Amino acid sequence: PFGGCVIPNFFLFHFLGCTECFLYTLMAYDRFLAICKPLHYATIMTQSVCNYLAFGTWLGGTFHSLFQTSFIFRLPFCGPNRVDYFFCDIPAMLRLACADTTINELVTFVDIGFLALTCFVLILTSYGYIVAAILRIQSIDGRRNAFSTCAAHLTVVIVYYVPCTFIYLRPGSQEPLDGVVAVFYTVITPLLNPVIYR
């Protein structure tokens, strides 16, 4: 009954969300290399390394979305086949299942929690080194340029991670509030990207 949710919404949504999470982590690492190891940047971040990293984000996004999609659609759905949400997301689909979803909620919490927490810790670690390097820069203009570059990326990371954490890493679901919060990481973050990364 939910075939229309599987590929266009659920699989693509989680594929793109996970890929975006990995890309934000790689962007923090890229900034770390550019600011903390500027003389080694060109030898470390070669075109082939960039290609492998990009492929790795897509592969990781594919595995994550296949895992989430296959796990959720093993549940029996016998009630209404109408998703009362903006898109077919995990909390909305779990509300429609006519079986105990405790295991699914736990797996979602652990899977997305581990993924988001790992990426976020790696981003914070990169920025810890970056801030330490920026504070050693003598010129005020140099500091300002480095901080402005990092501030743009951190803004997007915060606007992306806070709503994701709110939706997926808390017990229970509050339908109207979840939908409003989901707009942030599905609409607002992509709209901010061209403005912030100009």
Q: Is 25 exposed, middle or buried (0-12, 13-18, 19+ CB in 10 A)?
A: buried
Cα angle 156-159-163, degrees, rounded to a multiple of 5: 145
Q: Residue 88's CB: how many other CB atoms inside 10 A? A: 21
State the SS3 of 100-147: CCHHHHHHHHHHHHHHHHHHHHHHHHHHHHHHHHHHCCCCHHHHHHHH
The owner of tokens 């689909």 is 93
At 5-35, the pLDDT tens digits run: 666 666 677 888 889 889 999 999 998 998 8
At 90 the pLDDT is: 73
Q: Which residue segment(s) compose the domain that 109 sits in? A: 3-196
The closest of 56, 60, 80 to 68, measured between CA atoms, is 60
Which of left, alpha, beta for 76 (phi over 0: left; psi -120 to 50: alpha)?
beta
* Domain CATH code at residue 40: 1.20.1070.10
What is the pLDDT at residue 46? 94
pTM to 2 decimal places: 0.81
Tokens of 34: 């550019």
Domain count across the chain:
1
pLDDT given at position 178: 65
Mean pLDDT of 171-181: 63
* 83/94 Cα distance (integer angstroms): 10
